[in-house]
Amino acid sequence: MKRSKVSHEFPPLVYPDSEILILGSFPSVKSRAAKFFYGHPQNRFWRVLASVYGENVPEQAGEKKSLLKRHHVACYDVIESCSIIGSSDSTIRNVQPADLQTIIAQGRIHRVILNGKTAAKYFERYHKRWDSQAIPVFQAPSTSPANAATSLETLIQLWRPLLTQE
């Protein structure tokens, strides 16, 4: 496969009452095609959130948006555009970071959750200045199918306190 320069193809999902911002690294090919977050059917993101919040797993984008809105969750990615081969995070190059300040300003964000090591790596590289804003940032294990070593049950257990502040 060939490396392509790709831009984020859909806007951040943030509401005025959003309190938690979940950041991935960059949308997968399936997510870019669906023009919505965590579009790969094997990604466990929606199953994790539904389980933590005691809801049915949303199937359609409208249901997913409603779930996020009900629980004051915003979503976006750390990277706005990059060169990438397919969906492989390890091939990411030529990164243009996302403007996270604008997203923060649109809601009442008081906690950031980084979905996986790659999101954390690029957040650290391009958004380290956030340390001075007193918004706590947590790294959660990736819900990606590439993180097959972590079971769904373990993901739910590790994400639960980050989403509910138990």
Q: What is the CATH number of the domain that holds 140?
A: 3.40.470.10
* DSSP conformation letters of the chain: ---EEEE--S--B--TT--EEEEESS--HHHHHHTSTT-STT--HHHHHHHHHT-PPP-SHHHHHHHHHHTTEEEEESEEEEEESTT-GGG-EEEEE--HHHHHHHTT--EEEEESHHHHHHHHHH-GGGGGGT--EEEE---STT-TTS-HHHHHHHHHHHHH--
Q: What is the total count of domains within the chain?
A: 1
Q: Which residues of the chain have pLDDT under 50?
A: 132
The domain of 46 spans 4-164
According to the model, what pLDDT value does residue 132 have? 47
**pLDDT value of position 134:** 79
Q: Would you state the pLDDT for residue 3?
A: 79
94: annotated active-site residue? no
pLDDT value for 131:
54
